[in-house]
Amino acid sequence: MGKIIAIVNQKGGVGKTTTAINLGAALAHSGKKVLVIDLDAQANATIGLGFSRELLEYTSFDLLASDLKAKELVYQAPNRNIDIIPGSEKLIDLETALFNVDNKELILQIKLQPLKSKYDYILVDCAPSLGIDVENALFAADSVIIPVECEYFAYEALPLMINKIHQVQTAKNKKNQKLTIEGVLLTKLDNRNIFGYKIIDKVKNLMPTKTFKTIISRSSHLQEAPMRGGSVLKTAFHSRSSREYRELAREILDNNG
Ligand SMILES: Nc1ncnc2c1ncn2[C@@H]1O[C@H](COP(=O)(O)OP(=O)(O)OP(=O)(O)O)[C@@H](O)[C@H]1O
Ligand SMILES: [Mg+2]
């Protein structure tokens, strides 16, 4: 049975999408069957995996706001062992589209059930919000990865995300008690700057057993890869960034036995 991992942080620009693309590619490189669900109106994961948003007929908006089945919305990423349900700017209107729907935070959980046997890992790339899209991801997920940039405001915002996860674990009638924290992932570490290491210490103090050993360094390879329509494993396999994301995949595979 596949595992659904939501990549969440209400703070923007911390590396959620970069992690969805590159961890997805690294898990696929390890022979795992991977689906990435792009739940962000910016559709950065979709573009970063080599799709042109104009060509996409169906998207994750239809997953949440139509009767279409999840398997009808899956596209295969060009030349790769990753499938995707793309993002769309229509997601901006999701709250309105779901206004009168009962149990609207459970749509994704129900829709993804049939896909769980088809994939080893389903990674859900979330928008920087705590709206209905992210609630759906949290109720559907088995675990979350929380990317945290090695800077103060990102550290300072972490407890809010942890509280949100706790709310989902304990929500009356609709709880997702199985939801665990796969790990907090420190990202964008500038190893010439001592300050980043102070943030690492603070995060490890806050989440001693839940911080990934792997830390993602700041690197231009990760900024360039999406422009070339692929993961860093495809565009610069021997780079440090590629190695770090492969190490992260290894850590997750080891943790999941
Ligand atoms: N390790 C890194 N080194 C250098 N640049 C990075 C790294 N990780 C991400 N970036 C860059 O930082 C920016 C934000 O990253 P990304 O889009 O992955 O964050 P996000 O959390 O998904 O943002 P949003 O909240 O807007 O969805 C992008 O330009 C990306 O290329
Ligand atoms: Mg993003």
Residues with CB under 6 A from ligand 1: 12-18, 40, 42, 44, 127-128, 187-188, 216, 218-219, 222-223
Cα distance between residue 130 and residue 121, in whole Å:
23
- Kindly report, residue by residue over 113-156, the tens digit of the pLDDT: 999 999 999 999 999 999 999 999 999 999 999 999 999 999 99
Q: What are the domain boundaries of the chain?
A: 3-255
Q: Please tell me whether the overall predicted TM-score, pTM, comes out greater than 0.85 for this model.
A: yes
pLDDT at site 79: 62
Determine the residue of 11, 17, 227 to mutate for testing ligand 1's pocket, defined as the one with the most ligand atoms within 8 A of the Cβ atom: 17
Ligand 1: distance of its center to the CA of 168 in Å? 26
Cα distance between residue 203 and residue 5, in whole Å:
21
Nearest CA, atom 9, ligand 1: 15
Whether 176 has a pLDDT exceeding 90, the answer reads no
Residue 188 CA: nearest ligand 1 atom is: 1
DSSP secondary structure, 152-174, as one string: HHHHHHHHHHHHHHHHHHH-TTT
Ligand 2: distance of its center to the CA of 27 in Å? 19
Homologous superfamily assigned to 3-255: P-loop containing nucleotide triphosphate hydrolases (3.40.50.300)
Q: Which residues of 151-169 are buried (b: 16+ CB within 10 A; e: fewer)?
A: beebbebbeebbebbeebe
pLDDT at site 217: 98
- Kindly report, residue by residue over 3-18, the tens digit of the pLDDT: 999 999 999 999 999 9
Determine the residue of 18, 134, 149, 150 to mutate for testing ligand 1's pocket, defined as the one with the most ligand atoms within 8 A of the Cβ atom: 18
Cα distance between residue 230 and residue 79, in whole Å:
10
Whether 33 has a pLDDT exceeding 90, the answer reads yes
The DSSP code for 176 is -
Whether 80 has a pLDDT exceeding 90, the answer reads no
**pLDDT band (50, 70, 90) for residue 257:** confident
Nearest CA, atom 23, ligand 1: 13
Ligand 1: distance of its center to the CA of 141 in Å? 22
Ligand 1: distance of its center to the CA of 82 in Å? 20
pLDDT at site 177: 79
Residue 18 CA: nearest ligand 1 atom is: 18
Whether 70 has a pLDDT exceeding 70, the answer reads yes
Q: What 3-state DSSP class applies to 123?
A: strand
